[in-house]
Structure 1
Amino acid sequence: MKKTKYIKFLVAAMLLGGLATSCMDDDWNDPTNGSTTVPFGNNNIQEDDSKIISIKDLKAQTVDVMDQKVNYDERHNLPFYAIRIENDWQIKVRVTGNDIQGNIYNEVSVEDASGEGLLICIQKGGLYGFLPVGQEILVNLKDLYIGIYGNNVQLGTFYKNNEKGREYPGRMLLNTWNNHFKILGVARPDLVEPEVFDLTKLKDESYIKSHRNKLMTLENVEMDGADGKLAWAPEADKDPGNGVSRTVKINGKAQSLMVVRSSTYADFAAKAMPTGKVNLTGIFTVYATNPSKKGYTWQILLRSDSDIEEVK
């Protein structure tokens, strides 16, 4: 079964992103590989302080404005939209999450000094090879699209689902991404520290909007249904998105507004959930629901099984 699953994953990766053997070497922390020329991205991009904008300000001038105007999808109560960035802006950000164990798909999460996070969507597997956690990058934003997919802020290229009439930032081709970003120095994972999730603000809308897509830790909780056998994401439990959502117990009670979302392709998918208390670290995304009707649901995307810490 394990071999079959691996072959399925490999074939999917070939179809969607192509094989990237250069991303599979041992020199992940130093993208220059000892050279003065970085082999990924656009080395001609020059940092310009007059163009730098924080993630917080970027959202304030784009998605926060649209939030006041957007019409919700009447069937699902979901916001979907994409905004072309016409300003010659740059963001200087550090990678906080990637696809190293297969649980984050075709995207990386980033944060900057403003303390807010963003998802960058790229049609490529093996992103962890050149975008490891802790890697600082400079991104030219002009002509990319920012917007909302559900309730998560995404950066990518324009995509329209004609069948459903939805527009949102989709995964950009690798060539497009390579033209828009520059690697800055070597990865510094020691500079990436998760923020502790504030349980008192579970339903706080302003907290949700400022903390979605951030690397955070949920402390001293339990997994509902954990019995030493129930796995994070077995094939038998998957939904149409090839994922499984497991409810978190907070203060001994199952909390429907907080789940761990895992892919059946994740390296840890078949591992049993811990039965005791745990600290869970990951990228905190938000399931797309209309707060005026159903409220928000937090979804934790574990980056690897090391994000699961059993409390002794």
Structure 2
Amino acid sequence: MKTIKYLAMTLVALLAVACQGDWDEPTLAYGDLNGNNNITDENIITIAQLKDKYPNVFASTDKAVKIEEDIKIKGRVSGNDIGSNIYKQFFLQDETGSIIISVNQSGMHAFLAEGQEIIVDLKNLWIGGYRKEPQIGSKYGSGVGRMNKEVFQQHFKYVGTPDVTKIDTLKFASVADFMKLDKNKNCGQLVQIGGIEFKDVEGLGTFAPDSTKDHTVTIKGGCVSRELKGYTANQIVVRTSTYAKFAAWKLPKTKGTIVGMATRFVSGSTDTWQIMIRKESDINFPEE
């Protein structure tokens, strides 16, 4: 019996190690993130109301404020790291807007699936804007950074089970229609944009090659920003990590539709829309 017991323990250990780098399925490594069931549904405000409370925070590119009030937000996960293109953060969205929550933890889709509703207790967390992109996390320098997993564990509570049909996707027939979107109000939201056409690149360009041997791109921070026809890189780009599961996919040469998170990057006088695709199924080019 002892031999069988030891063999079973060894098998469990091996399975845990084998799954550490797996992006596709929930793993044993993240099973202890169960949330805090002591959090109540009192003092819940909308994400739009939260942003309205801290307008000066987002007016700066790198500033953060500690939330002293006993307030909470409630929303559904609209974007996570399931496609390896979003790193150590997820997007929480309600009917009024979206905000990034930064946690120093990879493989977050294992416990925060798309459509999962949660309550986040904001008291003693930090809110700030990285390049004017609203985020919740911990203090990092003069701005906001990732909170550790143990802190997040105490500040969120699961509500029901995941339901992707409850996520509100803002849909646009063309890039021109999307460009009318208000950045201050709508950055961070899940969008669907039709009529997408990438600018021509030499050779067989991919979304994000992992080497500078492809001279058609510049890799910054492990990401590649692809331009769209009719627009400059200062207006809108599709930003892809070199670690994304679809990074090696060839750029489509026809028009199509993409779904992704409408993020924002401000540098000087430049205020750029950065579309971050979540996963392979977000890319739809029927003629390719």
- Is 1:44 aligned with 2:44? no
- Is 1:246 aligned with 2:226? yes
1:140-160 per-residue CA deviation (whole Å, 9 max, x = no partner) reads: 000000111012101000001
Whether the aligned pair in 2 keeps the contact of 1:248 and 1:259 (CA below 8 Å) is yes
Identity of aligned residues (%): 33
Q: Quick one: distance in 2 between partners of 1:192 and 1:52? A: 19
Whether the aligned pair in 1 keeps the contact of 2:26 and 2:111 (CA below 8 Å) is no
Whether the aligned pair in 2 keeps the contact of 1:151 and 1:289 (CA below 8 Å) is no
- Is 1:168 aligned with 2:148? no
Q: Quick one: distance in 1 between partners of 2:220 and 2:110? A: 28
Q: Quick one: distance in 2 between partners of 1:133 and 1:67? A: 26
Q: Which residue is equivalent to 1:90?
A: 72
1:218-276 per-residue CA deviation (whole Å, 9 max, x = no partner) reads: 21120112578210000124524011000012xxx243311000000111111101110
Residue 287 of structure 1 and its aligned partner are, at CA, apart by 1.3
Q: Quick one: distance in 1 between partners of 2:285 and 2:67? A: 43
Q: Could you tell me which runs of 5 or more consecutive residues in structure 2 were left unpaired when the two chains were aligned.
A: 1-16, 213-217
Q: Quick one: distance in 2 between partners of 1:226 and 1:26? A: 39
Q: Quick one: distance in 2 between partners of 1:157 and 1:235? A: 31
- Is 1:255 aligned with 2:249? no
SS of 2:153's partner is helix
Residue 65 of structure 1 and its aligned partner are, at CA, apart by 3.3
Q: Which residue is equivalent to 1:283?
A: 261
**TM-score, normalised via structure 1 length:** 0.77
**TM-score, normalised via structure 2 length:** 0.83
1:85-142 per-residue CA deviation (whole Å, 9 max, x = no partner) reads: 000001011000000011000000111122x110000111110011010000000000
Q: Which residue is equivalent to 1:209?
A: 184
Whether the aligned pair in 1 keeps the contact of 2:58 and 2:132 (CA below 8 Å) is no
Q: Which residue is equivalent to 2:130?
A: 149
Q: Quick one: distance in 2 between partners of 1:182 and 1:212? A: 24
Correspondences of 1:1-312 after superposition (within 5 Å): 19=20, 24-25=25-26, 40-48=34-42, 51-62=43-54, 64-67=55-58, 70=60, 79-114=61-96, 116-160=97-141, 167-197=142-172, 199-200=176-177, 202=179, 207-225=182-200, 229-237=204-212, 239-249=219-229, 253-256=230-233, 257-290=235-268, 293-294=269-270, 296-312=271-287
Q: Which moved more, 1:172-181 or 1:187-196?
A: 187-196
Whether the aligned pair in 2 keeps the contact of 1:228 and 1:273 (CA below 8 Å) is no
- Distance change >3 Å, CA 39–CA 85, structure 1 → 2: closer
SS of 2:128's partner is strand
Amino acid at match of 2:131: G
SS of 1:260's partner is strand
- Distance change >3 Å, CA 67–CA 287, structure 1 → 2: closer
Highest CA radius of gyration, 1 or 2? 2
Q: Quick one: distance in 2 between partners of 1:67 and 1:232? A: 30
SS of 2:45's partner is coil
Q: Which residue is equivalent to 2:13?
A: none
Amino acid at match of 1:185: G
Residue 289 of structure 1 and its aligned partner are, at CA, apart by 2.5
SS of 1:288's partner is strand
Q: Which residue is equivalent to 2:5?
A: none
Q: Could you tell me which runs of 5 or more consecutive residues in structure 1 were left unpaired when the two chains were aligned.
A: 1-13, 33-37, 71-78, 161-166
Compute the RMSD of aligned alpha carbons.
Answer: 2.6
Amino acid at match of 1:246: R
